[in-house]
Structure 1
Amino acid sequence: MIITINGMPGSGKSTIAKRLAKILRYSTLDIGSLRRRVAKKKGLTLAEFNKWSEKNPKFGDKYFDHLLIKTARAKKNLVISGRMAFHFLPESFKIFFDVSFPEGARRIKQSLHENRNEGRNLSSIAEIISSMKKRIASDTRRYKKLYRVNIFKPSNYDYVLDTTHIPIPQVVSRVKSAFQVWQRRKLKKSAKLAKTNS
Structure 2
Amino acid sequence: MRITISGPPGSGKTTVCRMLGERLHLEVVISGNIFRQMAKDRGMSLGDFGRMCEEDPEVDRLLDDRMVEIARGSEGVILEGRLTAHMLTRNGIPALRVLLDADVDVRAARVAEREGGDPARRKQEILAREACEAKRYLSFYNIDIGDRAIYDLVIDTTRLSPEEVASGIVEAAEALDG
Q: TM-score range, shorter-chain basis?
A: over 0.9
* Distance (Å, rounded) in 2 between the aligned partners of 1:41 and 1:2: 29
Is the 8 Å Cα contact of residues 111 and 119 (structure 2) preserved in structure 1? no
Q: Can you list the C-alpha shifts for 1:20-42, whole angstroms capped at 9, x where unaligned?
A: 01111111111011111111222
Q: Which residue of 2 aligns with 1:38?
A: 38
* Distance (Å, rounded) in 2 between the aligned partners of 1:94 and 1:37: 25
* Distance (Å, rounded) in 2 between the aligned partners of 1:125 and 1:144: 28
Q: Which runs of 4+ in 1 moved over 3 A?
A: none
Q: Can you list the C-alpha shifts for 1:6-53, whole angstroms capped at 9, x where unaligned?
A: 112100111111110111111111101111111122222222111111
- Bigger radius of gyration, 1 or 2? 1
* Distance (Å, rounded) in 2 between the aligned partners of 1:8 and 1:66: 20
Q: 1:150 is matched with which residue: 134, 144, 165? A: 144
Question: Is 1:136 aligned to residue 130 of structure 2?
Answer: yes
Give the CA deviation at 1:69: 1.1
Q: Which residue of 2 aligns with 1:17?
A: 17
The equivalences for 1:172-191 within 5 A come to 172-184=166-178
- Identical positions, percent: 28
Question: Is 1:97 aligned to residue 100 of structure 2?
Answer: yes
* Distance (Å, rounded) in 2 between the aligned partners of 1:137 and 1:182: 34
Q: Which residue of 1 aligns with 2:66?
A: 67
Secondary structure of the residue aligned to 1:5 is: strand
Q: Which residue of 2 aligns with 1:81?
A: 80
Structure 1 residues not aligned, in runs of 5+: 114-122, 185-198
Q: Which residue of 1 aligns with 2:156?
A: 162
Give the CA deviation at 1:183: 2.6
Aligned length: 174
Question: Is 1:52 aligned to residue 52 of structure 2?
Answer: yes
Give the CA deviation at 1:92: 1.2
* Distance (Å, rounded) in 2 between the aligned partners of 1:151 and 1:10: 16
Secondary structure of the residue aligned to 2:48 is: helix
**1:71 aligned partner, one-letter code:** I
Q: Can you list the C-alpha shifts for 1:129-153, whole angstroms capped at 9, x where unaligned?
A: 1111111111111111111111232
* Distance (Å, rounded) in 1 between the aligned partners of 2:119 and 2:12: 17
TM-score normalised according to structure 2 size:
0.93
Give the CA deviation at 1:66: 0.9
* Distance (Å, rounded) in 2 between the aligned partners of 1:152 and 1:48: 23
**1:16 aligned partner, one-letter code:** V
* Distance (Å, rounded) in 2 between the aligned partners of 1:150 and 1:126: 26
Taking only aligned residues, the RMSD between alpha carbons, in angstroms, comes to: 1.2
TM-score normalised according to structure 1 size:
0.84
* Distance (Å, rounded) in 1 between the aligned partners of 2:144 and 2:6: 12
Structure 2 residues not aligned, in runs of 5+: none
**2:39 aligned partner, one-letter code:** A
Secondary structure of the residue aligned to 1:155 is: coil
* Distance (Å, rounded) in 2 between the aligned partners of 1:101 and 1:2: 28
